[in-house]
């Protein structure tokens, strides 16, 4: 079996482009993709959850922002503070003879001619996310360790401590007082 042509973590936009190219190859009209997904979400869902690779995705925070490369896949722990409304953007455009997409991107990587009839405007919702209020750095690192331990541990069941052990511990503490 041959692996994927793209790296989900280092080049997630390559996966998006690949699924778009496959969809365009089967459909000749990009207007049929307006407001729809062409398989990119399912591809990432399979990679992250079915193959259990979510723990490999780095978390974006103040400590990691300097070493994470641009255009990589990241996780952000936060909350939505505001919904800024909808934004129109050039979702698909023709670059020469090939169709390109700007979905899941902030800006276009190629210059787009805005008067072209081979340009599709799509709409997306903008969200303003902020870090979780009151979340301390020690709680954040502890929660990440706990999540990893829960994911890595098998369902081991421990025996309860015998009552005699508790009495011995109580006697030791009473001697120290």
Q: What does the alpha-carbon distance between residue 101 and residue 95 come to, in Å, rounded to a whole number? A: 10
* Closest C-alpha among 157, 38, 46, 152 to residue 92: 38
Q: What does the alpha-carbon distance between residue 91 and residue 124 come to, in Å, rounded to a whole number? A: 10
Per-residue confidence of the chain (177 residues) as pLDDT tens digits? Answer: 445 667 888 888 888 888 888 888 877 676 777 767 788 888 889 988 888 888 899 988 888 888 988 888 999 888 988 888 898 888 888 887 888 888 888 777 777 777 778 888 888 888 899 888 887 766 665 445 434 443 343 334 444 444 554 554 444 444 444
Note the pTM of the prediction, 2 decimals: 0.62
């Amino acid at each position: 079996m041959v692996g994927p042509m793209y790296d989900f973590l280092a080049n997630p936009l390559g996966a998006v482009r690949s699924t778009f190219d496959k969809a365009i190859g089967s459909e000749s009209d990009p207007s049929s993709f307006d407001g729809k997904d062409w398989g990119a979400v399912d591809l990432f869902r399979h990679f992250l959850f079915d193959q259990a690779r979510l723990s490999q995705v780095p978390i974006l925070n103040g400590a990691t922002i300097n070493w994470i490369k641009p255009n990589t896949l990241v996780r952000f722990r936060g909350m939505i503070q505001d919904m800024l409304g909808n934004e129109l953007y050039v979702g698909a455009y023709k670059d020469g003879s090939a169709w390109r997409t700007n979905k899941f991107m902030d800006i276009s990587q190629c210059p787009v001619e805005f008067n072209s009839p081979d340009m599709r405007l799509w709409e997306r919702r903008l969200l303003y996310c902020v870090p979780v209020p009151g979340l301390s750095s020690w709680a954040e690192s502890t929660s990440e360790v706990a999540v990893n331990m829960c994911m890595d541990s098998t369902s081991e069941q421990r025996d309860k401590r015998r009552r005699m052990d508790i009495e011995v511990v109580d006697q030791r503490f009473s001697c120290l007082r």
